Structure 1
């Protein structure tokens, strides 16, 4: 038999946070598909296989949209159930993930420009700049995930 604090946590925010983590794993998987697909796309240059990459981007975009909608629903449920702090973290994570996706697209475009202008210092500098911004956003996401993990373990 579970003790009462564990039972309260199971009925509280913990299941919602676990569901969030499942959704987040799906989003991570989509990022991996996008990254691998972009590497393959770049390897087809200079006559890029754009139709194949465009289809991948379409499919991944649909996955991102589905996951995002699911997470927004979870955030609303958290708020409705009175779990404001975790809901606020989820909202911050969503904002950070949106920025991460924007930067990922910028990085992919920058990588393509760098590949097309081999040895171009300006293009390489842009890749480094975007990669640095992306690293900061990922660090921010990881911090929010750690804070959310705290709520999972405390049930608050």
Structure 2
């Protein structure tokens, strides 16, 4: 399942509940949770952008700022891919395409690996900057 890759377990639980609500899907409740998660992600994103700006400007750490930017972009890619996986898995939304689902799952895994690599580089460069 795509949810095991998501950093937003609340959204995943809500998606599962939505799918389990059967023939009369409870879309308003699901939409509400998606809105809350989106708001929380937007707030976190603003904080990350502020950290990036601080590193790029006053702290004069452009290498660290680039790492933070890369993490932000990779996280956006991962979240968009997980969301697409969830939509593709929703009954009645689209026809199941096993190959496309597999490709999207591989993309999530590769994105997670790239996030891990950037985090390692960030840790190393942050320790070197001290």
State the alpha-carbon separation in 2 of the partners of residues 114 and 87 from structure 1. 43
* Contiguous gaps of at least 5 residues in structure 1: 1-27
Say yes or no: does 1:106 pair with 2:80. Answer: no
Say yes or no: does 1:67 pair with 2:11. Answer: no
- TM superposition shift of 1:87: 0.4
- TM superposition shift of 1:123: 2.7
- TM superposition shift of 1:143: 1.0
The aligned residue for residue 126 of structure 2 is: 152
Contact 1:46–1:116 under 8 Å retained in 2: no
* Contiguous gaps of at least 5 residues in structure 2: none
The aligned residue for residue 12 of structure 2 is: 35
Q: Give the helix-richer structure, 1 or 2.
A: 1
Q: Any idea what SS the aligned residue of 2:25 has?
A: coil
Residues 53-64 of structure 1 mapped to structure 2, 5 A cutoff: 53-64=30-41
Count of aligned pairs between the two proteins = 125
Contact 2:6–2:79 under 8 Å retained in 1: no
Larger RCO: Structure 1 or Structure 2 (Cα < 8 Å, ≥ 6 residues apart)? 1
